[in-house]
Amino acid sequence: MSLLSVQNLSVHYDSIQAVKGISFEVQQGETVCLIGANGAGKTTTLKTLSGLLPASAGEISFDGKRLNGMPAFQIAALNLALVPEGRGIFTRMTVLENLLMGAYNRTDRDNVQREIDEIYTLLPRLQERHQQQAGLLSGGEQQMLALARAMLSKPKLLMLDEPSMGLAPIMVQTIYRIIQTIAQQGITILLIEQNVRLALGISQRGYVMEHGEITLSGAAQALANDPAVQAAYLGEF
């Protein structure tokens, strides 16, 4: 059974249909990417899965539970975590306070502290700045913090919306190494990324969205070799 199953999902903004009856699945332990141009409906899809937007039609099932109509805080409590476009950190709170917010629904405080120590080992910049206001961090450091905060929620599914956006190339490489480390821990990932080469490079499977519809799907390597994908997104062919 799929960890996440989306069937015939449609989403409207008033009279505008942003997502048009899409269907896709994510299996336990996979990294799956949704790729496409701006305005394709990718972010709208993740917001709907998270309960931030209502579905107009279709079915969303996560870990055997129907998510339609469920409020965002209840969906988060099911261990479905979203790192939104723009990171969504609490800028006036410290790095440590942001991390603790990721563990808000947890009661195993001893394990939380141990995991924060592990995060500091993996991301020493966060340890160096743990008492600093998060809004004073660089863009790359804020993205690290957003990823770390999400991981402290113990996600069964981690959804990432444009993690490379606005970052210098060297920091993009760092963030993607962190994402690969997360995937190697067995965390299931659903990734939205305009950098199609990066996304397909770390994913097992992918879906191409255009104008609110899924137009292609398949193994990541097969999509990377597809002439249409190369022409539209990779600057090749």
What is the residue extent of each domain of the chain? 4-79+155-234, 91-153
The residues near 97 (Cβ < 8 Å, ≥ 6 apart) are 90, 134
In the predicted model, is pLDDT for residue 235 greater than 80? Answer: no
| Residue 236: pLDDT band with limits 50, 70, 90 | low
Q: From the CB of residue 111, how many other CB atoms can be counted at a distance below 10 Å?
A: 13
Looking at residues 211-223, what average pLDDT do you find? 96
94-115 pLDDT tens trace: 999 999 999 887 878 789 999 9
Q: What CATH number was assigned to the domain covering residues 4-79+155-234?
A: 3.40.50.300
In the predicted model, is pLDDT for residue 237 greater than 50? Answer: no
CA 74 to chain centre: 18
21-68 pLDDT tens trace: 999 999 999 999 999 988 899 999 999 999 999 999 999 999 999 999
